Amino acid sequence: MQNGALDNRSHTRSFVSVAMGFVWVAAYVLLIAPVFVFSALGGQWLGRLVWPGISPLFHGITWIAGVLLITWLMRVKANKTPWSGMALPRPQLLRLLLGAIAGFAVILIASGIEYRLGWLHLVRIDTDLHRGLSKTLWMVLALAPSLAVGLAEELAFRGYIFQTLGERIPVWAAGLSMSVIFAVLHFSLGGFNAAFVVSVMVVSLMFLALRFATGSLWFPIGFHGAWDWTQTYFVGLATTGTQDYDPSLVHIRQTGPSFWVGDQQAIESGLLFILIVLALLALALVYASVVGKSPSWTQQLAHEQVSMTDVGD
Q: What is the pLDDT of residues 200-212, one digit of tens each?
A: 999 999 999 999 9
pLDDT value of position 192: 73
- Please give the average per-residue pLDDT across 52-76, as a whole number: 98
More confident residue, 262 or 127: 127
What type of residue sits at position 143? L
pLDDT digits (tens, 9 = 90+) for 281-306: 999 999 999 999 999 999 999 864 43
Distance CA 105, CA 117 (A): 18
Residue 253 is given by DSSP the state E
Distance CA 294, CA 292 (A): 6
pLDDT digits (tens, 9 = 90+) for 111-133: 999 999 999 999 999 999 999 99
Checking if the pLDDT of 191 tops 60, the result is yes
Q: How many CA atoms lie within 13 A of 161 on its CB side?
A: 28
Alpha carbon 285 to its chain centroid, in Å, reads 18
